Structure 1
Amino acid sequence: MAVQSPTNAAIAQLQGNSLAGLVQNEIERMILASEFQPGEKLTESTLATRLGVSRGPVREAFRMLDEAGLVRTEKNRGVFVRDIALDEALEIFELRAVMEMYIGRKLAETCTAAQTKALRQWVDAMDAATKAGNAQDFHRFNLEFHDALLQLAGNAKFTAHYRRLIKELSLIRRRNLTVESMAVYTREHRQIVKAIAARNAEAAGQAMFDHVMNSRERTLQNYYPAPEAPLAAPAPARRRATRTTAEA
């Protein structure tokens, strides 16, 4: 039996890792695009066939997705898309709001005119998606907009933690996207870019913080909608007065 040299073995491992990474990215894309629903079971063999790979890269991709917080692995049961509990989502929103405030403040001090112009183009794209009623495109542009803000902040460690939080929230936030809410998000994004362009660190930070906390409130309302007003009791029938002979 042929024995691989250390160099060939290393190359084979890198190729395997690279393929697993590609598989992870595709499964992640499908999860975030709601092709798989929270709580849905993911099957190695089915995904391997769908993606045209062996089961090994899918198994490794599952491990990486588990570490990223997008799936959960249950012993003897399999791998499932994570279903984020409301309490956990609300905590993530609060943490993210503080992180977004930092991003807004920093970008107001460092963003160039060309960079703010690019941010406006993302907001314009979200506006067009809103008018077309296209929640899928809006969601994608929204993620790209916030990721652009993150990259402009230029902190690698911060970026890694932030992106995990965003992906976890994506499992629950899609239900927030209605034509009305998309219009609200777009207005909030414009306000953020306006404050950054004005180099107003206080206003930019507050606009970012408020944007996230408003999203938190919408999520809460979607889980616990306002109770319907009780039906009004029918008014008692009015008795018609009977005229007596004396009254006639």
Structure 2
Amino acid sequence: MQNPINDPLFLVQSTSLTRLVTESVEKLILSGELAPGVKLNEVALAERLRVSRGPLREAFRTLEESGLIHQEKNRGAFVRVIELDEAADIYDVRAGLDAIAGRLLATRITAEQLATLRALTNSMLAVGAQEIDRFHAMNLAFHDQIVKMVGNPTLRETYSKLIKQLTLFRKRNLLAPKAIPRFAEEHSAIVDLLEAGDAAACAEALFAHAQGGRLRMLQDGNLAGVS
């Protein structure tokens, strides 16, 4: 009788289940339902997701590697708390990746891609000052699209990991409504530079945009920049 561990179908099913469980727990964390600092209850999560604790523990290992949770011996798993200093460090790295993405995309962007980004920025310009959650979602989509359009899987994977970690910090903080129009205008200017094909200026603008978010975050202390 074949060992299930060596059965290709078993491996595919097991891997798929672990991935689904990982994605489900990640959504709970990034949505704020499982808040920073909260202990992850294995029994409750296993019952909620209707899985055994094996795939859940595998998911915990993956989420720990991605920087979203941490596990302590004899204590369990906890959603990570990203402090201000660490968030600032993440912003520094993110700014560099934004610049790389902008420089690369400016040399290869298509008319269809420009239209997608322009539609996003137009929607952001129309967002009301109090529509913080809506603007935040559009902001994430805008930057994700830029990185995705570059077509570099390594860049996208690294960038996505950093953004998810920053989301943990933002879930503990508020965005100042007065900042929304300024962010939207900066996004629109970035699209103008992409359309012009100015790689150097686009890289500089995206770097400054991210660093501006970092600076505002540090100045406000308990308010997270969302650039």
TM-score of the superposition, structure 1-length normalised? 0.82
**Structure 1 residue 133: Cα displacement:** 2.9
Paired position in structure 2 for 1:19: 17
Deviations 1:51-106 (A, max 9, x none): 22222221111111001100000111011111112212111111111111111122
Q: Secondary structure at the match of 1:38?
A: coil
Tell me the C-alpha RMSD between the 2 structures.
2.0
Paired position in structure 2 for 1:81: 79
2:135 aligned to which of 119, 134, 138: 138
Change (3 A) 1:7 1:42: closer
- Contiguous gaps of at least 5 residues in structure 2: none
Deviations 1:94-133 (A, max 9, x none): 11111111111221111112111101122233344x3173
**8 Å CA contact 2:4, 2:10 repeated in 1:** no
Sequence identity, in percent? 42
Deviations 1:12-67 (A, max 9, x none): 12212111111111211121111121111111111112222222221111111001
Query: Aligned partners of 2:179, 2:107: CA distance in 1, in Å?
Result: 29
Paired position in structure 2 for 1:154: 151
Query: Aligned partners of 2:5, 2:30: CA distance in 1, in Å?
Result: 37
Aligned letter for 1:165?
L
Change (3 A) 1:150 1:40: same
When structure 1 is superposed on structure 2, of 115-124 and 73-82 the one drifting more is 115-124
Q: Which runs of 4+ in 1 moved over 6 A?
A: none
Aligned letter for 1:18?
S
**8 Å CA contact 1:176, 1:218 repeated in 2:** no
**8 Å CA contact 2:129, 2:181 repeated in 1:** no
Question: Superposed, which structure 2 residues align to 1:40-79 within 5 Å?
Answer: 40-79=38-77
**Structure 1 residue 137: Cα displacement:** 2.9
Matched, 1:185 2:200: no
Query: Aligned partners of 1:207, 1:189: CA distance in 2, in Å?
Result: 9
Matched, 1:173 2:170: yes
Larger radius of gyration: 1
The total of aligned residue pairs comes to 222
- Contiguous gaps of at least 5 residues in structure 1: 226-248
